[in-house]
Amino acid sequence: MGRKDSSGCCCCCEWLCGCLFSCILSCIFQILCTILVIAALAAFIFWLILRPNEVKFHVTDASLTQFNFTTNNTLHYNLALNVSIRNPNKRIGFYYDTFEANANYQGKRFDTETLTPFYQGHKNTTVVNAVFQGQQLVLLGTDEVSQFDSEKTDGVFGISLKLNLRIRPKLGWIKVWTFKPKVKCDLNVPLKSNGTSSTAFEATKCSYDL
């Protein structure tokens, strides 16, 4: 069957091209659908086998023996933290290629420590020790200075620990991608004077900073 109002050849060609085009389109569409379904299935099976669980960070101990702010905007500090890292995964280990710890006070970073890279096996807990000691020029506004004074009176300082990590998961012999999570721990650290503090430090859970 051909159309009456145009020449037979052109009509046929148009019809053929159109048919071919839609045929190719539906073919591509079907291939894409199949690939998508297979990929989703593979991801699901992968997930079933590995059952990835979130690595959890806690600051389990903190010792602050010096934290004073002098009139020339210099912060003198001596802070030691124990960070516990729990890998609950049965089949995944992690290489911590970069482990950078930043100590912040009122949103201002006052020290950075780079810890030695390490490997953490599956179902294991690693405790790392970060020590921040020294002095740093920190510019605080009047509100921040009064906040400092009130915290000094309480004997507890709000210090935030931020971890910049570069982690490589290891699945059996496969070591593929790298990811760079940021971890944030908002701590209330009591100042120790003469070896004792008014309150004890409470272990604090950290969160992922997105």
Cα 125 to Cα 19, 80, 85, 87, 148: the distances in Å are 63, 19, 5, 6, 35
**Cα 47 to Cα 40: distance, rounded to the nearest angstrom:** 10
Site string for ligand NAG, 8-47 (x = CB under 6 A): ----------------------------------------
Q: Which of residues 43-102 bind ligand NAG (CB under 6 A)?
A: 61-63, 66, 68, 70, 72, 74, 76, 80, 82
Give the total of residues touching ligand NAG (CB under 6 A): 20
In the complex with ligand NAG, the residue whose CB is nearer, 123 or 166, is 123
| Pair of tokens at residue 41 | 């299935």
198 binds ligand NAG (CB under 6 A): no
- Closest residue to ligand NAG using C-beta atoms: 121
- Contact predicate 110/134, CB 8 Å: no
Contacts of residue 132, defined as CB under 8 A and 6 or more positions apart, other chains included, come to 77, 78, 79, 80, 81, 101, 103, 110, 111, 113
- Contact predicate 75/110, CB 8 Å: yes
Q: C-beta of 149: minimal distance to ligand NAG in Å?
A: 14
Q: Which of residues 113-172 bind ligand NAG (CB under 6 A)?
A: 121-124, 127, 129
| Pair of tokens at residue 15 | 């019809």
Q: C-beta of 36: minimal distance to ligand NAG in Å?
A: 37
Q: Which residues of the shown chain bind ligand NAG in the complex (CB under 6 A)? A: 61-63, 66, 68, 70, 72, 74, 76, 80, 82, 121-124, 127, 129, 193-195
